[in-house]
Amino acid sequence: AVLRVRHCRALVYCRRAPPRCPACGGDLRNAGLAAAPVRLHSPFRHGHGQPRAFLIRPTRGSFLDGYDGHCDLHVGITNSKGVVYNYDQEGVHRAGSGWEQSISIPLVQPDMWELLQHWDNLLEEFSLEEAWLPHRYQEQQHNCFTFALAFVNRVRQGRGRQPLSKAQFTESFLLPHTREASRYLTLHQQLAHRDFYIVPLAEQEQE
Protein backbone atom coordinates (compact mmCIF):
# COMPACT_ATOMS: atom_id res chain seq x y z
CA ALA A 1 0.00 0.00 0.00
CA VAL A 2 1.05 3.60 -0.62
CA LEU A 3 -0.07 6.10 2.01
CA ARG A 4 -0.25 9.89 1.75
CA VAL A 5 0.08 12.24 4.71
CA ARG A 6 -0.47 15.99 4.33
CA HIS A 7 1.56 18.07 6.77
CA CYS A 8 3.73 21.22 6.98
CA ARG A 9 3.04 22.37 3.43
CA ALA A 10 4.02 19.05 1.92
CA LEU A 11 2.64 15.69 0.88
CA VAL A 12 4.50 12.80 2.46
CA TYR A 13 4.19 9.43 0.72
CA CYS A 14 5.14 6.30 2.64
CA ARG A 15 4.38 2.62 3.22
CA ARG A 16 3.72 3.01 6.95
CA ALA A 17 2.41 6.12 8.64
CA PRO A 18 5.25 7.62 10.75
CA PRO A 19 4.66 8.98 14.27
CA ARG A 20 6.55 12.17 13.36
CA CYS A 21 6.59 14.16 10.12
CA PRO A 22 9.82 13.40 8.20
CA ALA A 23 9.76 16.91 6.71
CA CYS A 24 9.49 19.02 9.90
CA GLY A 25 9.73 16.58 12.79
CA GLY A 26 6.27 17.50 14.09
CA ASP A 27 4.13 14.99 15.99
CA LEU A 28 1.61 13.46 13.57
CA ARG A 29 -0.32 11.50 16.19
CA ASN A 30 -1.90 14.69 17.54
CA ALA A 31 -2.01 16.61 14.26
CA GLY A 32 -5.73 16.08 13.69
CA LEU A 33 -7.81 14.71 10.85
CA ALA A 34 -6.10 16.83 8.18
CA ALA A 35 -2.84 14.91 8.72
CA ALA A 36 -4.45 11.46 8.89
CA PRO A 37 -2.86 8.97 6.47
CA VAL A 38 -4.86 8.25 3.32
CA ARG A 39 -4.37 5.02 1.40
CA LEU A 40 -3.98 5.69 -2.32
CA HIS A 41 -6.22 3.84 -4.73
CA SER A 42 -4.20 1.40 -6.86
CA PRO A 43 -4.79 1.82 -10.61
CA PHE A 44 -4.09 -1.87 -11.26
CA ARG A 45 -6.78 -4.55 -11.35
CA HIS A 46 -6.95 -8.31 -11.54
CA GLY A 47 -7.85 -8.38 -15.22
CA HIS A 48 -9.66 -11.71 -15.12
CA GLY A 49 -12.11 -10.19 -12.66
CA GLN A 50 -12.93 -7.30 -15.01
CA PRO A 51 -15.66 -8.40 -17.44
CA ARG A 52 -16.13 -6.66 -20.80
CA ALA A 53 -13.10 -4.42 -20.42
CA PHE A 54 -10.08 -3.17 -22.34
CA LEU A 55 -6.94 -4.33 -20.51
CA ILE A 56 -3.32 -3.14 -20.66
CA ARG A 57 -0.30 -4.90 -19.19
CA PRO A 58 3.44 -5.08 -19.94
CA THR A 59 4.32 -7.64 -22.60
CA ARG A 60 6.75 -9.14 -20.09
CA GLY A 61 6.61 -9.02 -16.31
CA SER A 62 4.22 -6.77 -14.41
CA PHE A 63 3.79 -3.07 -13.70
CA LEU A 64 4.88 -3.26 -10.06
CA ASP A 65 7.76 -5.64 -10.61
CA GLY A 66 10.44 -4.05 -12.76
CA TYR A 67 8.43 -2.10 -15.34
CA ASP A 68 10.53 0.92 -16.36
CA GLY A 69 8.00 2.82 -18.47
CA HIS A 70 9.71 1.95 -21.75
CA CYS A 71 8.93 -1.74 -22.27
CA ASP A 72 6.26 -2.76 -24.76
CA LEU A 73 2.66 -3.01 -23.60
CA HIS A 74 0.10 -5.63 -24.59
CA VAL A 75 -3.67 -5.11 -24.74
CA GLY A 76 -6.72 -7.34 -24.82
CA ILE A 77 -10.49 -7.47 -24.40
CA THR A 78 -12.26 -9.54 -21.75
CA ASN A 79 -15.46 -11.47 -22.20
CA SER A 80 -18.14 -11.68 -19.50
CA LYS A 81 -16.12 -14.31 -17.57
CA GLY A 82 -12.80 -12.43 -17.60
CA VAL A 83 -11.17 -14.48 -20.37
CA VAL A 84 -8.81 -12.12 -22.21
CA TYR A 85 -8.92 -12.19 -26.01
CA ASN A 86 -5.62 -10.83 -27.31
CA TYR A 87 -3.79 -10.93 -30.62
CA ASP A 88 -0.11 -11.43 -31.45
CA GLN A 89 2.10 -13.13 -34.03
CA GLU A 90 0.58 -16.49 -33.08
CA GLY A 91 -2.98 -15.32 -33.68
CA VAL A 92 -5.79 -14.79 -31.17
CA HIS A 93 -5.34 -16.11 -27.63
CA ARG A 94 -8.06 -16.66 -25.06
CA ALA A 95 -6.19 -16.25 -21.77
CA GLY A 96 -7.54 -17.37 -18.42
CA SER A 97 -4.40 -16.23 -16.59
CA GLY A 98 -1.50 -13.83 -16.98
CA TRP A 99 -3.45 -10.57 -16.70
CA GLU A 100 -3.59 -10.42 -12.91
CA GLN A 101 -2.10 -6.89 -12.80
CA SER A 102 -3.63 -4.73 -15.50
CA ILE A 103 -4.94 -1.29 -16.25
CA SER A 104 -8.66 -1.84 -16.89
CA ILE A 105 -11.01 0.37 -18.90
CA PRO A 106 -14.67 -0.76 -18.70
CA LEU A 107 -16.36 -0.85 -22.10
CA VAL A 108 -20.00 -1.59 -21.26
CA GLN A 109 -22.35 0.36 -19.00
CA PRO A 110 -24.78 -1.54 -16.74
CA ASP A 111 -27.80 -0.23 -18.66
CA MET A 112 -26.64 -1.65 -22.02
CA TRP A 113 -28.77 -4.77 -21.59
CA GLU A 114 -28.65 -6.09 -25.14
CA LEU A 115 -24.89 -5.64 -25.42
CA LEU A 116 -24.38 -7.35 -22.06
CA GLN A 117 -26.23 -10.40 -23.36
CA HIS A 118 -24.46 -10.65 -26.73
CA TRP A 119 -20.93 -9.52 -25.82
CA ASP A 120 -19.37 -12.98 -25.64
CA ASN A 121 -20.78 -14.10 -28.98
CA LEU A 122 -19.72 -10.87 -30.67
CA LEU A 123 -16.18 -11.19 -29.31
CA GLU A 124 -15.81 -14.86 -30.25
CA GLU A 125 -17.15 -14.33 -33.78
CA PHE A 126 -14.91 -11.30 -34.26
CA SER A 127 -11.82 -13.23 -33.11
CA LEU A 128 -12.43 -15.92 -35.75
CA GLU A 129 -12.25 -13.50 -38.67
CA GLU A 130 -9.49 -13.89 -41.23
CA ALA A 131 -7.98 -10.54 -40.33
CA TRP A 132 -6.66 -12.06 -37.10
CA LEU A 133 -4.85 -15.05 -38.52
CA PRO A 134 -1.19 -15.30 -37.41
CA HIS A 135 0.32 -14.40 -40.79
CA ARG A 136 -1.59 -11.11 -40.87
CA TYR A 137 0.19 -9.83 -37.76
CA GLN A 138 2.52 -6.84 -38.22
CA GLU A 139 4.23 -5.42 -35.16
CA GLN A 140 3.60 -1.77 -36.04
CA GLN A 141 0.50 -1.73 -38.23
CA HIS A 142 -1.63 -4.78 -37.41
CA ASN A 143 -1.13 -5.77 -33.79
CA CYS A 144 -2.87 -6.28 -30.44
CA PHE A 145 -4.06 -2.67 -30.33
CA THR A 146 -5.45 -2.97 -33.87
CA PHE A 147 -7.43 -6.03 -32.79
CA ALA A 148 -8.83 -4.46 -29.62
CA LEU A 149 -9.74 -1.12 -31.19
CA ALA A 150 -11.33 -2.84 -34.21
CA PHE A 151 -13.59 -4.78 -31.85
CA VAL A 152 -14.50 -1.62 -29.94
CA ASN A 153 -15.42 0.05 -33.23
CA ARG A 154 -17.41 -3.00 -34.36
CA VAL A 155 -19.49 -2.68 -31.20
CA ARG A 156 -19.87 1.07 -31.69
CA GLN A 157 -20.98 0.53 -35.28
CA GLY A 158 -23.63 -1.92 -34.07
CA ARG A 159 -24.97 0.79 -31.77
CA GLY A 160 -25.04 3.40 -34.57
CA ARG A 161 -21.96 5.29 -33.39
CA GLN A 162 -19.00 6.62 -35.34
CA PRO A 163 -15.74 4.64 -35.18
CA LEU A 164 -12.86 6.03 -33.15
CA SER A 165 -9.38 6.58 -34.52
CA LYS A 166 -6.42 5.31 -32.54
CA ALA A 167 -5.67 8.88 -31.45
CA GLN A 168 -9.28 9.53 -30.37
CA PHE A 169 -9.50 6.30 -28.38
CA THR A 170 -6.15 6.94 -26.75
CA GLU A 171 -7.02 10.51 -25.77
CA SER A 172 -10.54 9.82 -24.51
CA PHE A 173 -10.19 6.41 -22.86
CA LEU A 174 -6.57 5.42 -22.30
CA LEU A 175 -4.71 8.56 -21.21
CA PRO A 176 -6.72 9.26 -18.04
CA HIS A 177 -5.97 5.72 -16.83
CA THR A 178 -2.34 5.55 -17.96
CA ARG A 179 -1.55 8.95 -16.40
CA GLU A 180 -2.92 7.77 -13.07
CA ALA A 181 -0.92 4.55 -13.38
CA SER A 182 2.24 6.49 -14.22
CA ARG A 183 1.92 8.67 -11.11
CA TYR A 184 1.33 5.63 -8.92
CA LEU A 185 4.32 3.81 -10.44
CA THR A 186 6.54 6.82 -9.75
CA LEU A 187 5.58 6.69 -6.07
CA HIS A 188 6.00 2.92 -5.95
CA GLN A 189 9.49 3.17 -7.44
CA GLN A 190 10.54 6.01 -5.13
CA LEU A 191 9.41 4.06 -2.06
CA ALA A 192 11.33 0.99 -3.17
CA HIS A 193 14.55 2.79 -2.18
CA ARG A 194 13.48 5.06 0.69
CA ASP A 195 11.01 5.23 3.56
CA PHE A 196 9.47 8.55 2.51
CA TYR A 197 8.91 10.56 -0.63
CA ILE A 198 8.15 14.24 0.09
CA VAL A 199 6.46 16.56 -2.42
CA PRO A 200 6.23 20.27 -1.44
CA LEU A 201 2.82 21.80 -2.07
CA ALA A 202 2.42 24.88 -4.24
CA GLU A 203 1.23 27.94 -2.28
CA GLN A 204 -2.30 27.80 -3.68
CA GLU A 205 -2.59 24.13 -2.60
CA GLN A 206 -1.51 24.93 0.95
CA GLU A 207 -4.67 26.95 1.64
* Span 176-185, pLDDT tens digits: 999 999 999 9
Spell out the residues 6+ positions from residue 93 whose beta carbon is closer than 8 angstroms to its own: 84, 85, 86, 87
CA-nearest of 165, 166, 163, 141 to 153 is: 163
Give the pLDDT confidence score for residue 67 in this predicted structure. 84
* Nearest 10 degrees: Cα torsion 65, 11, 4, 28: 130
**Residue closest to 192 by CA, chosen among 78, 91, 64, 12:** 64
Nearest-CA neighbor of 46 among 81, 2, 82, 92? 82
pLDDT tens per residue across span 116-147: 999 999 999 999 999 999 999 999 999 999 99
What is the predicted pLDDT for the residue at 14? 95
| 23-69 tens-digit pLDDT | 889 888 887 887 889 999 999 999 999 999 999 999 988 999 878 77
Tell me the whole-structure pTM to 2 decimals.
0.88
Q: Is residue 146 a contact partner of residue 126, using CB atoms and an 8 Å limit?
A: no
Handedness of CA 42, 46, 50, 53 (dihedral sign): positive
Distance CA 131, CA 116 (A): 25
* Environment class of 120 (CB within 10 Å of its CB; exposed 0-12, middle 13-18, buried 19+): middle
